[in-house]
Structure formats: C-alpha cells, structure tokens
Amino acid sequence: MYIAFLNLFILPMKRLLFLFVILFSAQFISAQVTYKSFNSEKLGAEREIKIQLPRSYKSSDKSYPIILVLDGDYMFEIVAGNVEYAAYWEDIPEAIVVGINEYDKREDDTTYSELNSLPIDGGADFFEFIGMELIPYIEKTYRTEKFKVAVGHGITANFINYYLLKEIPLFNAYVSISPELAPDMQAFLSERLPNITTKTFYYLATSNNDIAEINTKTVALHNAIKGIENKNVLSTFDNFDGPTHYSLPAHAIPKALESIFFVFKPISKKEYKETILKLDTSPVDYLIEKYDTIEDLFGLKKQILINDFRAIAAAIKKSEKWEYFEPLGKLARKQYPNTLLGNYYLGRFYEETGESKKAMKTYQSAYILEEAAGITKDHVLELAEQIKVDFGY
C-alpha cells in the first residue's frame, strides 16, 4: 500500500533554502569532515576523500546509509550540507557522506570507449576503485547500513550508471544531475531498468538553461525511463527553470534527497489529505506498512513518530471509524509503553463502541503514565470523570 503511494507521489521540497544550507554547511562541515589520503592499488596512486559522519555517530551505536559523491572537490559540501540539514528535521535518515576529489583527474576517471560506451583505461580503474576498494573500506571502517546512494554531475552523472548495469547493482539510489551521457547509455538503461529486481531510486535533473545538448539528451532519457513498467524502479525527473549547468546541483540535491527518502518523512498534510483520508482500508495498517517500508528499503528500524500517531488518530476521528482506535492504541502501547498515548486511544475505542465502564478505567489507568502528543493527565481524568457522571459509576 505505502509503496503504491510512493510510486504516485513525490512531494515538492518545502525548504529549498539554498543560501541557508550553504552557510550551514560552511559552519558545520569545516569542523566535522575528515580528509583522508586513500592509497589505491587499482588507481596506482593516492586519492583524497572526504568523510562526514552524522552528528549522532559517536554517541550512538546506530548504523547509517552511505552517500557517495563524485566530483567531491566541488559537490561534496552541497551534498553534505543538505544531508545534515534534512536529517536535522528528520526528513531523511542521518547518513555517512563520502566525497572523492577528482580535480584534474575527472577526465581520466570517467574515460569510456567510443566503440561501446563502457569504461576503459582510467575509467575502468576508477570503476574498480570505488566498488572494490573504497566502498568496502567505508563499510569495514564505519557502522553502515545496506542502503547506498551515488551522486554525480555532468560526466560523473553518466559514470554512476555503470554500477546500475551490474548484475547486482552497487547502489540503491542514483542521483544523476545534468548528465553528459555516453552514446549508448540511454539504450543501456532502457534495457536494464525493466529487469531490476530490487527497489531502486533514480533521480534525473536538467534545466531549460542547461547546456543544450545535455538538456535534450536528458529529457530523452527521462521519456525512455517513464515508459518503463517496473514497480521496483522509482524514478523522479526535474527540468528546472533557470539554473545553469553549474548552478543546477544546488537546486537538484535537496529535491533528490526528498524523492529518495520520501517514505522516511513524517506524514505531511498532503499525504494526510490526499491518501490517508481516502483509504478504504485500515489507516493503522498504512502506518505500520510505512515504517516496515523504511526498514525494508533503508535497513533502519525507526520508531513511529508521535506526530504520525496523531495524524492517524485524526483520520480515525474524521472518518468516525472508531474500531481502528483499538489497534492504534495497542501499537502506541508497544512503541511508547511509558506514555499514556496507548491508553488514551484504547479509552477512545471503548468509549465510542459502547463500553463506557472499560473506557473510564482505561482513562484512569493512564494517569500514572507520562504525557504525550498534547494529551495531559488532567484531560484523561476529565474524560474518566465525565463518564462517571454520565453513567453513574
């Protein structure tokens, strides 16, 4: 159910505060980023990488997705800053961001054959460096989850597609911004994407002020992808109005993160109005599936947010399908056992289904628990007292 909804909607970014993100990045990144000189056997040389760990890394035992940024010499900060900002608001999970500096090596790193559009020479070495050295090093050195994102711009946006062509793709999500596509890349992807068997996110962006040839080919690639019927491929396309080839990443990165991690976000007003209120099935099942999807996709066991409980409760109240308060109350007891949230929802269920005495006792028992979701101890006692007066208990 939730994946079906995910295929229909990708919410527009509500906080495109680019200037804030850049300033935020500059203040935070400088203190938190680790610069490493990585000795690569595949490249036969050292390569500088940048690593930003999440704020909570040292204070928790959690594991985190990996976001790999090519063109790290100029792309890393904008990606790392947006990740830090969006994670702060819990719109996306915290993540380990890794950038590869490619200054003066970009052409060698992305070399492909003019005959078959596949990596050769330095491009083949760079391909193996990422897949056989760098990613295994990150996974061995840090606490990582299975979910991995690749980000590229221009020629590196073309390059990340090669990992999607593997029998077992290296990444779960691909952010391709203004790609300088190899001649056969559209044909490769048109053949590959229908056969993807695991959930794969593909974000593609250009603009009407992009380099003309790149814009034309990117739009053509989008048209080819949108015609592919594969529920495992979740694609998003943005054709921005105004940004140039070089300013496009600042616009595309926040939109890309939102589209990839859409299911991770708290329930929004749009989701509430356009999906939850229109459900013919249980909204509680929808909530459970939402969080199961987060775990399945990203490998993250996320506690159900209090505000998401409130959204489902509001939908139950609006639809007057009181029977759903019972599973919601049991779920709230499991998720927040020390709060009165579960007892309150169960009390509502009993009250609305005619079991007033049971409702009164359930409200009364909530008094010893912690307040939550704006529900106070005084409120549940008032509900209990009102039932006592109404029914003479």
> What is the mean pLDDT, run by run of 10 residues, along the chain of 393 residues?
52 43 46 87 96 94 96 97 95 97 95 96 98 98 96 98 96 98 98 96 98 98 95 97 97 97 94 96 97 93 96 97 98 97 97 95 94 94 91 78
Residues 208 and 348 in one domain: no
Domain boundary among 264, 295, 328: 264
- Domain C-terminal end among 216, 237, 264: 264
User: Residue 201: inside a domain, yes or no?
Assistant: yes
Pair 333, 258 in one domain: no
Residues 216 and 72 in one domain: yes
Predicted structure pTM score: 0.87
- Any idea what the CATH number is for the domain that residue 307 is in? 1.25.40.10
292 falls within a domain: no
27 in any annotated domain: yes
The reply to whether 32 and 109 lie within a common domain is: yes
Same structural domain, 182 and 245: yes
Residue 330's domain spans which residues?
303-391
**178/307 same-domain check:** no
Kindly state whether residues 259 and 354 are assigned to the same domain. Answer: no
The per-residue pLDDT for 6 is: 54
Neighbours of 12 (CB within 10 A): 11
Instruction: Look at residue 19 and tell me if it is in a domain.
Output: yes
Report the number of distinct structural domains present in the chain: 2
Within a domain: 277: no
Q: State whether 253 and 352 are in the same domain.
A: no
Q: What is the CATH number of the domain that holds 80?
A: 3.40.50.1820
Query: Is 131 within a domain?
Result: yes
